[in-house]
Amino acid sequence: MSNLRLFLMPILAVALAIATGALIIALSGSSPVDAYKALIDGSLSDSKSIGRTLEKATPLVMGGLAVAFAFKAGLFNIGGQGQLVFGALIAGAVGYGVTGLPWIIHTPLALLAGAVAGAMWGAIPGILKASRGAHEVITTIMLNFVALNMTDWLASKVWREEGVIVRTPHIESSAEIPRWGELPAGFFLAVVVAFLCWYLLRSTTFGFEIKSVGLNPNAASYAGISVKKIVIMTMAISGLLAALGGAIETQGVVGRYEPGFNAGLGFEGITIALLARTHPLAVIPAAVLIGAMEAGGSMMQFKADVSPEITDIIQALILIFVATPILVRWFLSQKETNELSVSTTWGS
Protein backbone atom coordinates (compact mmCIF):
# COMPACT_ATOMS: atom_id res chain seq x y z
CA MET A 1 0.00 0.00 0.00
CA SER A 2 1.40 3.34 -0.95
CA ASN A 3 1.99 5.96 1.66
CA LEU A 4 -0.58 8.26 0.14
CA ARG A 5 -3.34 5.76 0.69
CA LEU A 6 -2.20 5.19 4.25
CA PHE A 7 -2.48 8.89 4.83
CA LEU A 8 -5.86 9.25 3.19
CA MET A 9 -7.56 6.52 5.16
CA PRO A 10 -8.03 8.47 8.39
CA ILE A 11 -9.18 11.53 6.47
CA LEU A 12 -11.70 9.41 4.65
CA ALA A 13 -12.85 7.95 7.93
CA VAL A 14 -13.40 11.38 9.41
CA ALA A 15 -15.25 12.55 6.33
CA LEU A 16 -17.53 9.52 6.42
CA ALA A 17 -18.19 9.98 10.10
CA ILE A 18 -19.08 13.63 9.63
CA ALA A 19 -21.41 12.72 6.82
CA THR A 20 -23.11 10.05 8.90
CA GLY A 21 -23.34 12.47 11.78
CA ALA A 22 -25.07 14.90 9.51
CA LEU A 23 -27.58 12.21 8.67
CA ILE A 24 -28.25 11.50 12.32
CA ILE A 25 -28.69 15.18 13.09
CA ALA A 26 -31.12 15.49 10.24
CA LEU A 27 -33.05 12.46 11.49
CA SER A 28 -33.33 13.94 14.93
CA GLY A 29 -34.98 16.98 13.47
CA SER A 30 -32.29 19.62 13.24
CA SER A 31 -30.33 21.08 10.39
CA PRO A 32 -26.91 19.56 9.87
CA VAL A 33 -25.65 22.65 8.12
CA ASP A 34 -26.58 24.88 11.03
CA ALA A 35 -25.14 22.38 13.44
CA TYR A 36 -21.78 22.10 11.74
CA LYS A 37 -21.60 25.82 11.18
CA ALA A 38 -22.15 26.40 14.86
CA LEU A 39 -19.56 23.76 15.63
CA ILE A 40 -16.93 25.53 13.60
CA ASP A 41 -17.98 28.87 14.97
CA GLY A 42 -17.51 27.64 18.49
CA SER A 43 -14.16 26.08 17.87
CA LEU A 44 -12.16 27.80 15.20
CA SER A 45 -13.59 31.20 14.47
CA ASP A 46 -11.57 33.50 16.68
CA SER A 47 -8.63 33.31 19.01
CA LYS A 48 -10.91 32.73 21.95
CA SER A 49 -12.54 29.72 20.39
CA ILE A 50 -9.21 28.43 19.12
CA GLY A 51 -7.96 28.79 22.64
CA ARG A 52 -10.88 26.66 23.80
CA THR A 53 -10.14 24.10 21.13
CA LEU A 54 -6.51 23.81 22.08
CA GLU A 55 -7.49 23.62 25.70
CA LYS A 56 -9.73 20.65 24.98
CA ALA A 57 -7.12 19.15 22.73
CA THR A 58 -4.36 19.14 25.31
CA PRO A 59 -5.50 16.20 27.45
CA LEU A 60 -6.45 14.43 24.23
CA VAL A 61 -2.91 14.74 22.94
CA MET A 62 -1.61 13.23 26.15
CA GLY A 63 -4.27 10.55 26.24
CA GLY A 64 -3.60 9.66 22.63
CA LEU A 65 0.13 9.54 23.25
CA ALA A 66 -0.43 7.26 26.21
CA VAL A 67 -2.42 4.75 24.18
CA ALA A 68 -0.17 5.03 21.13
CA PHE A 69 2.96 4.53 23.16
CA ALA A 70 1.60 1.40 24.79
CA PHE A 71 0.51 0.09 21.40
CA LYS A 72 4.11 0.20 20.23
CA ALA A 73 4.92 -2.53 22.70
CA GLY A 74 1.81 -4.45 21.80
CA LEU A 75 -0.03 -3.33 24.92
CA PHE A 76 -3.55 -2.02 25.13
CA ASN A 77 -3.78 0.64 27.81
CA ILE A 78 -7.42 1.39 28.53
CA GLY A 79 -6.52 2.77 31.91
CA GLY A 80 -5.97 6.29 30.70
CA GLN A 81 -8.89 7.57 32.65
CA GLY A 82 -7.65 6.25 35.97
CA GLN A 83 -4.09 7.33 35.32
CA LEU A 84 -5.32 10.75 34.32
CA VAL A 85 -7.38 11.38 37.43
CA PHE A 86 -4.50 10.39 39.64
CA GLY A 87 -2.26 12.76 37.77
CA ALA A 88 -4.82 15.52 38.07
CA LEU A 89 -5.41 14.95 41.76
CA ILE A 90 -1.79 14.63 42.81
CA ALA A 91 -0.81 17.67 40.80
CA GLY A 92 -3.64 19.55 42.45
CA ALA A 93 -2.56 18.39 45.88
CA VAL A 94 1.03 19.47 45.36
CA GLY A 95 -0.26 22.61 43.77
CA TYR A 96 -2.13 23.79 46.81
CA GLY A 97 -0.34 21.94 49.55
CA VAL A 98 3.15 23.21 48.90
CA THR A 99 3.62 26.92 49.45
CA GLY A 100 6.41 29.43 49.22
CA LEU A 101 8.03 28.10 46.08
CA PRO A 102 8.79 30.19 43.04
CA TRP A 103 6.91 29.45 39.85
CA ILE A 104 9.94 27.99 38.15
CA ILE A 105 10.08 25.20 40.71
CA HIS A 106 6.50 24.80 41.79
CA THR A 107 4.89 24.28 38.43
CA PRO A 108 7.28 21.58 37.22
CA LEU A 109 7.17 19.98 40.65
CA ALA A 110 3.42 19.61 40.58
CA LEU A 111 3.57 18.28 37.03
CA LEU A 112 6.26 15.85 38.01
CA ALA A 113 4.30 14.65 41.02
CA GLY A 114 1.27 13.99 38.86
CA ALA A 115 3.39 12.25 36.25
CA VAL A 116 5.03 10.00 38.79
CA ALA A 117 1.65 9.08 40.25
CA GLY A 118 0.51 8.06 36.79
CA ALA A 119 3.68 6.13 36.13
CA MET A 120 3.14 4.13 39.28
CA TRP A 121 -0.50 3.51 38.52
CA GLY A 122 0.36 2.46 35.00
CA ALA A 123 3.15 0.22 36.19
CA ILE A 124 0.71 -1.91 38.18
CA PRO A 125 -1.00 -3.52 35.19
CA GLY A 126 2.42 -3.72 33.57
CA ILE A 127 3.78 -5.72 36.48
CA LEU A 128 0.70 -7.91 36.58
CA LYS A 129 1.08 -8.65 32.91
CA ALA A 130 4.80 -9.25 33.03
CA SER A 131 4.81 -11.46 36.08
CA ARG A 132 1.40 -13.16 36.00
CA GLY A 133 0.29 -12.79 32.44
CA ALA A 134 -2.83 -10.87 33.44
CA HIS A 135 -4.27 -9.18 30.38
CA GLU A 136 -3.94 -5.44 30.59
CA VAL A 137 -7.31 -4.71 29.00
CA ILE A 138 -9.12 -6.01 32.03
CA THR A 139 -6.69 -4.90 34.69
CA THR A 140 -6.53 -1.34 33.39
CA ILE A 141 -10.29 -1.06 33.22
CA MET A 142 -10.65 -2.43 36.72
CA LEU A 143 -8.02 -0.03 37.95
CA ASN A 144 -9.95 2.81 36.35
CA PHE A 145 -12.83 2.10 38.67
CA VAL A 146 -10.49 1.75 41.61
CA ALA A 147 -8.80 5.03 40.72
CA LEU A 148 -12.08 6.86 40.44
CA ASN A 149 -13.11 5.63 43.84
CA MET A 150 -9.78 6.39 45.43
CA THR A 151 -9.43 9.88 44.05
CA ASP A 152 -13.00 10.48 45.07
CA TRP A 153 -12.14 9.49 48.59
CA LEU A 154 -8.95 11.49 48.69
CA ALA A 155 -10.71 14.56 47.42
CA SER A 156 -13.55 14.23 49.87
CA LYS A 157 -11.65 13.16 52.95
CA VAL A 158 -8.00 13.96 52.81
CA TRP A 159 -7.41 16.96 50.60
CA ARG A 160 -10.80 18.52 50.91
CA GLU A 161 -11.53 22.17 50.68
CA GLU A 162 -13.67 23.59 53.44
CA GLY A 163 -17.24 23.73 52.37
CA VAL A 164 -20.03 21.80 50.78
CA ILE A 165 -18.58 21.05 47.36
CA VAL A 166 -16.26 18.08 47.16
CA ARG A 167 -13.03 19.33 45.68
CA THR A 168 -9.48 20.22 46.51
CA PRO A 169 -8.54 23.78 47.29
CA HIS A 170 -7.39 26.00 44.49
CA ILE A 171 -3.74 25.66 43.65
CA GLU A 172 -1.23 28.37 44.39
CA SER A 173 -0.66 30.76 41.58
CA SER A 174 2.93 29.58 41.51
CA ALA A 175 1.73 26.22 40.25
CA GLU A 176 -0.46 27.51 37.48
CA ILE A 177 0.28 27.01 33.85
CA PRO A 178 -0.26 30.33 32.14
CA ARG A 179 -2.13 31.31 29.05
CA TRP A 180 -0.42 33.27 26.35
CA GLY A 181 -3.20 35.56 25.32
CA GLU A 182 -5.98 33.16 24.65
CA LEU A 183 -3.77 30.16 23.93
CA PRO A 184 -3.03 27.70 26.68
CA ALA A 185 0.66 27.07 27.24
CA GLY A 186 -0.22 23.56 28.29
CA PHE A 187 -0.99 22.66 24.71
CA PHE A 188 2.50 23.55 23.58
CA LEU A 189 3.90 21.57 26.46
CA ALA A 190 1.91 18.60 25.15
CA VAL A 191 3.31 19.17 21.68
CA VAL A 192 6.84 19.10 23.05
CA VAL A 193 6.09 15.85 24.85
CA ALA A 194 4.75 14.40 21.60
CA PHE A 195 8.00 15.24 19.87
CA LEU A 196 9.95 13.68 22.70
CA CYS A 197 7.97 10.46 22.35
CA TRP A 198 8.51 10.45 18.62
CA TYR A 199 12.23 10.92 19.01
CA LEU A 200 12.49 8.27 21.68
CA LEU A 201 10.76 5.65 19.61
CA ARG A 202 12.55 6.48 16.44
CA SER A 203 16.13 7.06 17.41
CA THR A 204 16.94 5.53 20.75
CA THR A 205 17.96 2.03 21.64
CA PHE A 206 15.20 1.91 24.20
CA GLY A 207 12.66 2.80 21.54
CA PHE A 208 14.03 0.05 19.33
CA GLU A 209 13.57 -2.41 22.16
CA ILE A 210 9.99 -1.29 22.72
CA LYS A 211 9.10 -1.70 19.08
CA SER A 212 10.84 -5.06 18.89
CA VAL A 213 8.83 -6.36 21.81
CA GLY A 214 5.67 -5.12 20.19
CA LEU A 215 6.43 -6.73 16.86
CA ASN A 216 7.80 -10.07 17.99
CA PRO A 217 8.28 -10.65 21.69
CA ASN A 218 9.76 -14.10 21.10
CA ALA A 219 12.50 -12.86 18.82
CA ALA A 220 13.03 -9.87 21.08
CA SER A 221 13.71 -12.08 24.05
CA TYR A 222 16.02 -14.23 21.94
CA ALA A 223 17.90 -11.04 21.15
CA GLY A 224 18.46 -10.54 24.84
CA ILE A 225 15.76 -7.93 25.42
CA SER A 226 13.99 -8.38 28.71
CA VAL A 227 10.39 -8.44 27.58
CA LYS A 228 9.12 -8.17 31.14
CA LYS A 229 11.12 -5.04 31.81
CA ILE A 230 9.96 -3.43 28.60
CA VAL A 231 6.33 -4.24 29.35
CA ILE A 232 6.54 -2.67 32.78
CA MET A 233 8.43 0.39 31.63
CA THR A 234 6.15 0.95 28.66
CA MET A 235 3.04 0.77 30.81
CA ALA A 236 4.66 3.11 33.31
CA ILE A 237 5.49 5.63 30.60
CA SER A 238 2.03 5.25 29.16
CA GLY A 239 0.53 5.95 32.57
CA LEU A 240 2.87 8.87 32.99
CA LEU A 241 1.71 10.42 29.74
CA ALA A 242 -1.96 10.10 30.62
CA ALA A 243 -1.37 11.45 34.10
CA LEU A 244 0.60 14.37 32.75
CA GLY A 245 -2.47 15.19 30.71
CA GLY A 246 -4.49 15.31 33.88
CA ALA A 247 -1.88 17.39 35.65
CA ILE A 248 -1.76 19.92 32.85
CA GLU A 249 -5.53 20.12 32.94
CA THR A 250 -5.54 20.82 36.65
CA GLN A 251 -2.76 23.33 36.55
CA GLY A 252 -3.69 24.98 33.31
CA VAL A 253 -7.46 24.95 33.13
CA VAL A 254 -9.40 24.00 36.22
CA GLY A 255 -7.08 25.07 38.98
CA ARG A 256 -8.11 22.29 41.32
CA TYR A 257 -9.28 18.71 41.31
CA GLU A 258 -12.98 17.95 41.20
CA PRO A 259 -14.35 14.43 41.04
CA GLY A 260 -16.26 13.73 37.89
CA PHE A 261 -13.66 15.53 35.91
CA ASN A 262 -13.00 14.55 32.35
CA ALA A 263 -14.80 11.26 32.44
CA GLY A 264 -14.40 9.11 29.36
CA LEU A 265 -11.01 10.46 28.41
CA GLY A 266 -9.54 6.99 28.48
CA PHE A 267 -11.62 5.89 25.54
CA GLU A 268 -11.10 9.11 23.69
CA GLY A 269 -7.39 8.44 23.90
CA ILE A 270 -7.98 5.25 21.97
CA THR A 271 -9.85 7.10 19.25
CA ILE A 272 -7.03 9.59 18.93
CA ALA A 273 -4.37 6.91 18.89
CA LEU A 274 -6.15 4.93 16.21
CA LEU A 275 -6.88 8.03 14.17
CA ALA A 276 -3.20 8.86 14.35
CA ARG A 277 -2.39 5.24 13.55
CA THR A 278 -0.23 5.22 16.67
CA HIS A 279 2.20 7.77 15.28
CA PRO A 280 3.16 10.16 18.08
CA LEU A 281 3.22 13.24 15.89
CA ALA A 282 -0.04 12.47 14.14
CA VAL A 283 -1.68 12.46 17.55
CA ILE A 284 -1.49 16.26 17.52
CA PRO A 285 -3.75 16.98 14.55
CA ALA A 286 -6.07 14.17 15.59
CA ALA A 287 -6.44 15.67 19.05
CA VAL A 288 -7.05 19.14 17.63
CA LEU A 289 -9.82 17.73 15.46
CA ILE A 290 -11.62 16.04 18.31
CA GLY A 291 -10.89 18.99 20.58
CA ALA A 292 -12.53 21.28 18.06
CA MET A 293 -15.61 19.12 18.06
CA GLU A 294 -15.84 19.26 21.80
CA ALA A 295 -15.15 22.96 22.01
CA GLY A 296 -17.83 23.71 19.49
CA GLY A 297 -20.34 21.41 21.10
CA SER A 298 -21.93 23.90 23.42
CA MET A 299 -22.19 26.45 20.62
CA MET A 300 -23.88 23.79 18.56
CA GLN A 301 -26.44 23.24 21.27
CA PHE A 302 -26.96 26.93 21.76
CA LYS A 303 -27.33 27.92 18.15
CA ALA A 304 -28.66 24.82 16.45
CA ASP A 305 -30.33 23.05 19.34
CA VAL A 306 -28.42 19.86 18.79
CA SER A 307 -27.41 17.86 21.81
CA PRO A 308 -23.62 17.93 22.19
CA GLU A 309 -23.49 14.18 22.60
CA ILE A 310 -23.68 14.00 18.84
CA THR A 311 -19.94 14.57 18.95
CA ASP A 312 -19.64 11.38 20.97
CA ILE A 313 -21.44 9.55 18.24
CA ILE A 314 -19.29 11.10 15.57
CA GLN A 315 -16.25 10.01 17.52
CA ALA A 316 -17.62 6.50 17.77
CA LEU A 317 -18.24 6.56 14.04
CA ILE A 318 -14.75 7.87 13.34
CA LEU A 319 -13.41 5.03 15.40
CA ILE A 320 -15.43 2.48 13.52
CA PHE A 321 -14.41 3.89 10.15
CA VAL A 322 -10.79 4.25 11.18
CA ALA A 323 -10.58 0.79 12.65
CA THR A 324 -12.31 -0.86 9.73
CA PRO A 325 -10.17 0.55 6.92
CA ILE A 326 -7.15 -0.36 8.94
CA LEU A 327 -8.49 -3.81 9.34
CA VAL A 328 -9.38 -3.97 5.67
CA ARG A 329 -5.93 -2.91 4.72
CA TRP A 330 -4.42 -5.39 7.13
CA PHE A 331 -6.50 -8.01 5.46
CA LEU A 332 -5.31 -7.01 2.04
CA SER A 333 -1.62 -6.69 2.70
CA GLN A 334 -0.74 -8.99 5.50
CA LYS A 335 2.93 -8.39 5.12
CA GLU A 336 2.72 -4.86 6.38
CA THR A 337 2.64 -5.63 10.01
CA ASN A 338 3.68 -2.24 11.29
CA GLU A 339 -0.02 -2.08 11.91
CA LEU A 340 -2.28 -2.56 14.82
CA SER A 341 -2.14 -6.20 15.69
CA VAL A 342 -2.43 -5.80 19.39
CA SER A 343 -1.94 -8.38 22.10
CA THR A 344 -3.46 -11.68 21.15
CA THR A 345 -4.30 -13.71 24.18
CA TRP A 346 -5.00 -13.68 27.89
CA GLY A 347 -1.80 -15.18 29.23
CA SER A 348 1.73 -14.09 28.57
Partner 1 sequence: MSSNTLALEATGISKTFGSVKANDQINLEIQKGRIHALLGENGAGKSTLVNILFGLYKADSGIVKVDGEPVDLGRPKDAIDRGIGMVHQHFQLVPVLTVAENIVLGNEPSNKANVINIENAKEKVRELAEKYQLEVDTEAIVEDLPVGTQQRVEILRSLYRDADILILDEPTAVLTPQETDHLLQVLKKLASQGVAIIFITHKLREVLEVADEVTVMRNGQVVGSTTPAETDESGLAEMMVGRSVVLRVSKETASPAATILQVVNLRVQDDRGLMAVNDLSLEVRSGEIFGIAGVEGNGQRELVETITGLRTADTGSILIGDTSITEFSPRQISELGVAHIPEDREKHGLIGPHSVADNLILNRYYKSPFSNRGIRQQKAIADYAKEMVEKFDIRTPSIETPSSSLSGGNKQKAIAAREFSHNAQLLVASQPTRGIDVGSIEFVHQQLISQRDQGLAVLLVSAELDEILSLSDRIGVIYRGQLIVTANAADLDRNRIGRIMTTGSDSN
Partner 2 sequence: MGFIMSDNPPKDIKQFFFNKRWWIITTVLLVVFTLWTSEFQQANTTSVLVSTLRHSTPLVLGAMCGLLCERSGVINIGIEGQMLMSAWGGFMVASTSGSLLLGVFAGIGIGMMMGGVLAGISVGLRGDQIIAGTVINIAALGITSFFFSLGRTLPSGKAQVIKLGPLADIPVAGRVLFSNKPITYLTLLMVPTLWFLLFRTKWGLRTRAVGEHPSAAETVGISVIGMRYLNVIMGGGIAGLAGAYLSLEAVGSFERVMTNGKGFVALAVMIFGRWNPVGAWGAALLFGYASAIQTQFQFRDWLTDDPQFIGIIPFIVTIVVLAGFVGRARPPASIGQPYSRE
Residues that bind partner 1 (CB under 8 A): 203-206, 208, 211-212, 215-216, 218-226, 335-338
Identity of the residue, 90 or 137, whose beta carbon is nearer to partner 2 in the bound complex:
137
CB neighbourhood size of 262 (10 A): 22
Pattern 62-101, partner 2, x by CB under 8 A: --------------x-x-----------------------
Nearest residue (CB) to partner 2, 106 versus 167: 167
Considering only residues 274, 275, 287, 289, which one is a binding residue for partner 2 as defined by CB under 8 A?
274
Residue (of 126, 113, 127, 151) closest to 261 by Cα position: 151
153 touches partner 2 by CB under 8 A: yes
* Contacting partner 2 within 239-268 (CB under 8 A): 264, 267
Q: What do you get for the CA distance between the two ends of the chain, in Å?
A: 32
60 alpha-carbon distance from chain centroid: 4
Minimum Å gap between C-beta 156 and partner 2 is 8
Cβ density class 154-189: b for 16+ within 10 Å, e for less:
bbeeebebeeeeebbbebbebbbbebeeebbbbbeb
Contact window for partner 2 (CB under 8 A) among 130-138, 163-171, 172-180, 189-197 = 130-138
**76, 134 in Cβ contact below 8 A?**
no
| Closer CB to partner 2, 115 or 270, in the complex | 270
CA distance 86 to 226: 29
Give CA–CA dist 249/75, Å, rounded: 25
| Nearest-approach distance from CB 206 to partner 1, in angstroms | 6
* Shorter beta-carbon distance to partner 2: residue 105 or 327: 327
- Classify the C-alpha dihedral 320-56-53-269 as positive or negative: negative
Instruction: Give the residues lining the site for partner 2 (CB under 8 A).
Output: 76, 78, 128, 132-135, 137-139, 141-143, 145-146, 149-150, 152-153, 157, 264, 267, 270-271, 274, 307, 309-310, 312-313, 315-317, 319-320, 323-324, 326-328, 330-331, 340-348
